[in-house]
Amino acid sequence: MFTLRLARPLGVLLSALLLTPTLWAKPATDPGLKSGSALVMDARSGAVLYQKNPTQARPIASLTKLMTALVVLDAKQDLNQLLTIDENDRDRVKSTHSRVRMGTKVSRRDALHLALMSSENRMASALARHYPGGRTAFVRAMNNKARQLGMFNTHFYDSTGLSTRNVATARDLAKLVTAAYRQPLIRQFTQDESEEMRFAKPAYSLMFNNTNPLVKNGDWDVRLSKTGYTNEAGRCLVMRAKPDTREITIVLLNAQGKLTPVGDANRIRKWLKGQS
């Protein structure tokens, strides 16, 4: 009798345990990102997998240079034409340092390469100056391109990203990454880990590195990326990569720590594994 009485509640308890989801096996519903705004998208389908403050317009710093590259390539100017770096390309907004000397002559292709891979501000400035109609026409073309891409909460005021008035939302930047990915040269230049650039006039050479450390990590299989930083924008990163079986687009804005974008990217990767 005692055995039967005991068996019934035990059976009920076991059934309840079997029917109840194991809390520790359930994947986290939020990756716990530190960035102020974020968006994770399936790069193939366009499905949004995660978003945080996706429609808040924020300063985007050097993420701007992806749009700079699109405008340069749309203009179909001679990529071998030599551009001259002069005093007009000196940063008088943030007083950032550049190793590129005044008077340096550089091909439009190499200027584009360094603007994308190493976020070289003087190169991005020179690209805009040597555009038909100069900087004013270049910035107008940047904003027109943004409208064409459906980036309606994005505004550009310069080609470098040094202006705090260059703003966009995470959702808009996902559209920019998709458009930039269609350009083989942008993909190539943003994937390069480093490059020794030889300048002929004057004759000197410099080694430049990619500003995104994840391009050196083969596990990430980075296919396009761009970083950005100013005090106002914080640390920013956009990236299209295939860290596992799924190709994804990541947008991270307004991260406060130097390594926070990389940390958030790894948190996203871990979170996606938990969802599969």
Q: Which CATH fold would you assign to the domain 31-275? A: Beta-lactamase (3.40.710)
Q: What is the tens place of the pLDDT at every residue in 158-186?
A: 999 999 999 999 999 999 999 999 999 99
Non-local (6+) Cβ contacts of 112 within 8 A are: 69, 72, 73, 79, 123, 127, 185, 189
Separation of alpha carbons 204 and 200, rounded Å: 7
**Residue 12: pLDDT band with limits 50, 70, 90:** very low
Q: What is the tens place of the pLDDT at every residue in 112-133?
A: 999 999 999 999 999 999 999 9
Q: Do the annotations mark residue 226 as ligand-binding?
A: yes
Question: Could you tell me if 209 and 189 are in contact, meaning their C-beta atoms sit under 8 angstroms apart?
Answer: no
The pLDDT value given to residue 199: 93
Mean of per-residue pLDDT scores for the chain: 91
Task: Give the H or E element holding residue 231.
Answer: none
Instruction: Locate the domains of the chain by residue range.
Output: 31-275
Active site residues: 62, 65, 119
The pLDDT value given to residue 274: 85
Non-local (6+) Cβ contacts of 126 within 8 A are: 83, 84, 85, 89, 106, 111
